[in-house]
Structure 1
């Protein structure tokens, strides 16, 4: 489907008694506010926002730090307000997939959404996506899915040869392996559901596949991905090499990539294909496919194509010559529309030697008194406090020198939300036993760099 054939009704035609936007910012006549929903800091997200700006429209980066919604007198209100939303939530790495999908759906009540939530949901579960493509007559590898150890034992009856064993929801080839019918494998990989898929091998010595990037019903570029030496996975994130094949891509793979994108209801996608004995198969469809590798291989950035699709979906128009000129660069500098972690306006930007804070985790929030320490690189919280609030998720570990000696202590790192001077921010803090200390939270330079420190200010428990 093309952008022109799929344009929604003007916003004024919708029932304003049901929903309305709450952001009061105004744009010039003919200028549209293009929101990009993305809580991660990928080069692709930045490039799309920067392309929107260069094309003469206003980019709005929608993140946890700035999004709000409320219902008032039967009217749904949203801030920031946008005329169209590009949904780039990376759900394969999310711990709250339903919540993230619903945020995109909430925007869908008031504005068109590029990659609507239901389409993304269709694509997110790899076996479900394959089933939907197969039901429409598209060529996909055979596969098997079961949810219990007993049912999963049946897979060799359907796939008698080697199979790819992988997560139903995953990305970057994580934890994938090749299994044979006599291997004891179950329905879960690391506590996440899995399935097996026919392992397709091409005639080349080095495994490869073709990633085709589709935007608005058109192919904007294609690359062949070669697996690293000694591996069979072609993911760029795992070290795979890429080469541009856009000009050499035949009509059949072009048709399959566009058809697969349309069948799943997506506006843009990266479609992975493989030819076997002259026949093409659809391996996967990725709703939030990166395009750094595509740019490296072809010299074409998908960012201006995505920006144009969004602007046209909002009712604007962009000359093709502008996109062609812009696609030769990938500007991944931090856009000026990125919301700050700490809002300066109206905020008390001073912290004392001790300050009263609120700290929030998965199981609740507590008030505490925190000590400021410019000698500490990272914020740390007491083990008992972390347990009470359910601090997390665990994002890694860090080694900290203990005392004045050369010994080091390995501490877990968790994400927590801190409220300082009335403003919230997310901090990756270390967990340690501070039961012998006066204060359960120590604020390090990762927090203090955004504030002025006044050591004469203190607050007691």
Structure 2
């Protein structure tokens, strides 16, 4: 097969691993920067022009579209879809997962547990918003934040009010979430491939840090999920129509609670923590499903 990986950096761990596993299984792999693609829209002949050639020979696409280029990256993925090319993540699914508010609304309607969450349109009644999530401490998140950026732990009512008022003054859209004390600064990342969990790790924030992101100095270890955690991960992937994704959740006294779903999860942390070949599982998924 001719497989295209949409990525702006061929040296990233996840991109390199996907190349290795695809080539090991006899596939031809090409790294393409989505921002350098020209989308040709023509009656009954949609195509993509890239570096003086048409990409009309591609069998499958692996989108590694960063959050900063979501709009154009998804437009390129959508064009491949119109060309009949198989993709491990549909453009609409990537867009929905990147919209934290929309994805939480869909997931909550589907009965998936999550921390109490409030979104408000620059409300002046900050005290009431804080009360909705059970008071302080509480988590305040920018809707556009990634990798732990734009996430604040407000430990007191005054701190929460100050942060919310500051964000409101900047007209930055935020959500306020319940703080799950029993999680103790840790969360779980489950990697779903073809609708099944193929690996899971528990990420622990460094001392004094409530965010567990590995990019922020957290550590990770392999974990065996219980039945409820497995069910949550697979249901979340199904609701957002993402056969390949990372599902982040917290362990709480009332069961697992969903944090978010990542449509282009990194492979370095999960492969390192679990020792499992996630990249190979993704390539196998493409082989199985590409028509």
TM-score range (shorter-chain normalised) is 0.7 to 0.9
Which of 98, 102, 105 aligns to 2:78? It is 105
Measure how far apart 1:312 and its partner are: 2.3
User: Which residue in the other structure is 1:150 paired with?
Assistant: 124
Q: For 2:290 and 2:169, how far apart are their aligned partners in 1?
A: 42
User: Which residue in the other structure is 1:264 paired with?
Assistant: 240
Measure how far apart 1:223 and its partner are: 0.6
Measure how far apart 1:84 and its partner are: 1.6
Which of 277, 292, 315 aligns to 2:268? It is 292
Tell whether the 8 Å contact from 2:19 to 2:29 is kept in structure 1 after alignment.
yes
SS of the equivalent of 1:139 reads: coil
Counterparts in 2 of 1:102 and 1:152: CA distance versus 1, 3 Å: farther
Counterparts in 2 of 1:240 and 1:102: CA distance versus 1, 3 Å: same
Tell whether the 8 Å contact from 1:146 to 1:152 is kept in structure 2 after alignment.
no
> Over residues 218-257 of structure 1, what are the superposed CA-to-partner deviations in whole Å (9 max), with x where a residue is unaligned?
1111111111011111001011111111xx3212111110
Measure how far apart 1:72 and its partner are: 5.1
User: Which residue in the other structure is 1:408 paired with?
Assistant: none
Tell whether the 8 Å contact from 1:122 to 1:264 is kept in structure 2 after alignment.
yes
Which of 175, 189, 196 aligns to 2:176? It is 196
- List runs of 5+ in structure 2 lacking aligned partners: 49-53
Q: For 1:39 and 1:48, how far apart are their aligned partners in 2?
A: 14
SS of the equivalent of 2:102 reads: helix
SS of the equivalent of 1:50 reads: helix
Structure with the higher strand share, 1 or 2: 1
Q: Report the structure number with the largest CA radius of gyration.
A: 1
- Cα RMSD (Å): 2.2
SS of the equivalent of 2:115 reads: coil
Q: Matched residue pairs, number?
A: 277
> Over residues 23-54 of structure 1, what are the superposed CA-to-partner deviations in whole Å (9 max), with x where a residue is unaligned?
xxxxxxxxx11111122342102211221111
Tell whether the 8 Å contact from 1:62 to 1:80 is kept in structure 2 after alignment.
no
User: Which residue in the other structure is 2:5 paired with?
Assistant: 36
User: Which residue in the other structure is 1:176 paired with?
Assistant: 151
> Over residues 311-358 of structure 1, what are the superposed CA-to-partner deviations in whole Å (9 max), with x where a residue is unaligned?
22223xxxxxxxxxxxxxxxxxxxxxxxxxxxxxxxxxxxxxxxxxxx
User: Which residue in the other structure is 2:282 paired with?
Assistant: 306
User: Which residue in the other structure is 1:115 paired with?
Assistant: 89
Q: Structure 1-normalised TM-score?
A: 0.56
Q: For 2:118 and 2:275, how far apart are their aligned partners in 1?
A: 38
User: Which residue in the other structure is 2:108 paired with?
Assistant: 134
Counterparts in 2 of 1:231 and 1:70: CA distance versus 1, 3 Å: same
Q: For 2:212 and 2:43, how far apart are their aligned partners in 1?
A: 53
User: Which residue in the other structure is 2:138 paired with?
Assistant: 163
Runs of 4+, deviation exceeding 6 Å: none
Counterparts in 2 of 1:65 and 1:253: CA distance versus 1, 3 Å: closer
User: Which residue in the other structure is 1:358 paired with?
Assistant: none
User: Which residue in the other structure is 1:326 paired with?
Assistant: none
Counterparts in 2 of 1:143 and 1:189: CA distance versus 1, 3 Å: farther
User: Which residue in the other structure is 1:280 paired with?
Assistant: 256
Q: For 1:219 and 1:268, how far apart are their aligned partners in 2?
A: 9
Measure how far apart 1:191 and its partner are: 6.4
Q: For 2:35 and 2:251, how far apart are their aligned partners in 1?
A: 44
- List runs of 5+ in structure 1 lacking aligned partners: 1-31, 316-461
Tell whether the 8 Å contact from 2:34 to 2:72 is kept in structure 1 after alignment.
no
User: Which residue in the other structure is 2:200 paired with?
Assistant: 222
Tell whether the 8 Å contact from 1:35 to 1:59 is kept in structure 2 after alignment.
yes
Tell whether the 8 Å contact from 2:134 to 2:178 is kept in structure 1 after alignment.
no
User: Which residue in the other structure is 1:232 paired with?
Assistant: 210
Measure how far apart 1:149 and its partner are: 4.5
User: Which residue in the other structure is 1:90 paired with?
Assistant: 66
Measure how far apart 1:65 and its partner are: 7.3
